Amino acid sequence: MVDDASASVLDGRAPDLARLLTATESLIRLLPSEPPKPVSSRPNPQQIMWRICKQMRDHGQVPDEGLLQAKLNEQATEIELDARPSAAFALTLR
């Protein structure tokens, strides 16, 4: 509706003001009743996430990073070893 009115103006025709007013009122009804809070008054999402992670770690729901890294290293080594062709397989390729 707004695009049609813009095209009308660009073509030198008068826009349909009643349709524009109706569109504007419809769009205004879609707006929230309260304006959003300023960024400064919102809680910091990083602090909230840190608090959640810390609580989960305190309750034993998240392992320590050192343990996780050791497990990842162990799994990476297993994958690398599994990816190497075995000696028997290598002989059949020759």
Using DSSP, state whether 28 is helix, strand or coil: helix
27 and 43 assigned to the same domain: no
44 and 89 assigned to the same domain: yes
23 and 7 assigned to the same domain: yes
Distance between CA 28 and CA 50 in Å, rounded? 38
Tally of structural domains, the chain = 2
Per-position pLDDT tens, the chain of length 94:
667 777 777 777 787 888 888 888 988 889 888 887 777 777 888 999 999 989 998 888 877 778 888 888 999 998 888 877 665 555 555 5
Domain containing 7: what range?
Answer: 1-31
Angle (deg, nearest 10), helices 2-10 and 17-30? 140
